[in-house]
């Protein structure tokens, strides 16, 4: 692995532990000589993460749509800032630059990005690890939602297993580094399977 794409909140959240998780992730990325690819923002956990990686001498590539960059949300001091035309182009560019994906706590955008990249793994669009830092149990309700989707027959267990969870950035990066692509069956292609 050379670079990790991180999805994170444009807000800092209500607990200082979320920003601390972002700083811990930054430290782990630099220690492991992994570059950061992220949404290019200067605010919230995104800004905390980028500042911490830059402060420790790491590489940071931001990818931001022109509309957000023009609102002065773009981080001015990155190793590289790529300005794209749409959110779709942003996600595709971030995915092409990264060898793995990690989600820190965040809001709707973070959830959407994480679920889309997980869906891409399910569809076989990419074969890269996708993980979540469950800082302070932030993603516990999400884990329950996924389990409910399995129970109710909407999500196959093998697809939930594509998503890695750990309480700390170091543990999650260990899982990502040791990850091997599972043999995933595309159940919807086999009409005999429910």
**Rounded Cα–Cα distance for residues 26 and 7 (Å):** 13
pLDDT, tens digit, 9 for 90 and up, residues 34-79 = 999 999 999 999 999 999 999 999 999 999 999 988 776 899 999 9
pLDDT of residue 71: 78
Sign of CA dihedral 112, 115, 121, 122: negative
**Rounded Cα–Cα distance for residues 51 and 117 (Å):** 25
* Residue range 102-110: mean pLDDT, rounded: 97
Picking from 34, 30, 56, 60, the residue whose alpha carbon sits closest to that of residue 47 is 60
pLDDT of residue 11: 96
Instruction: Provide the strand spans (E) within the chain.
Output: 3-7, 35-38, 60-65, 80-84, 100-103, 130-133, 163-166
pLDDT of residue 73: 86
Instruction: Work out the number of other CB atoms within 10 angstroms of the CB of residue 194.
Output: 7
Number of independent structural domains in the chain:
1
* Residue range 131-152: mean pLDDT, rounded: 97
In a domain, 57, yes or no: yes
Our CA angle for 176, 78, 138, nearest 5°, is 45
In a domain, 90, yes or no: yes
Q: Which two three-digit tokens encode residue 16?
A: 């200082």
The answer to whether 3 and 36 have CB atoms below 8 angstroms apart is: yes
The answer to whether 172 and 132 have CB atoms below 8 angstroms apart is: yes
pTM of the entire predicted model: 0.92
pLDDT of residue 86: 95
In a domain, 194, yes or no: no
In a domain, 33, yes or no: yes
In a domain, 39, yes or no: yes
User: CATH no. for residue 26?
Assistant: 3.40.50.450
According to DSSP, residue 54 is labeled H
In a domain, 83, yes or no: yes
Range of the domain at 177: 3-189
In a domain, 178, yes or no: yes
Q: Is the confidence at residue 191, as pLDDT, over 90?
A: no
């Amino acid at each position: 692995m050379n670079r990790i794409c991180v999805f994170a909140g444009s807000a800092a959240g209500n607990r200082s532990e979320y920003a601390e998780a972002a700083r811990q992730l930054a430290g782990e990325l630099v220690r492991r000589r992994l570059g950061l690819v992220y949404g290019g923002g200067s605010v919230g956990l995104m800004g905390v993460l980028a500042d911490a990686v830059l402060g420790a001498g790491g590489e940071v590539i931001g990818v931001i749509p022109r509309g957000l960059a023009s609102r002065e949300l773009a981080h001015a001091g990155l190793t590289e800032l790529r300005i794209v035309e749409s959110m779709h182009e942003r996600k595709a560019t971030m995915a092409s630059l990264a060898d793995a994906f990690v989600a820190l706590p965040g809001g709707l955008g973070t959830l959407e990005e994480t679920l889309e990249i997980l869906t891409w793994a399910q569809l076989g669009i990419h074969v890269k690890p996708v993980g979540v830092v469950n800082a302070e149990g932030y993603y516990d309700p999400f884990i329950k939602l996924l389990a409910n989707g399995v129970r109710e027959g909407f999500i196959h267990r093998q697809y939930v297993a594509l998503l890695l969870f750990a309480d700390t950035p170091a543990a999650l990066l260990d899982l990502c580094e040791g990850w091997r692509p599972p043999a995933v069956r595309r159940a919807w292609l086999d009409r005999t399977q429910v």
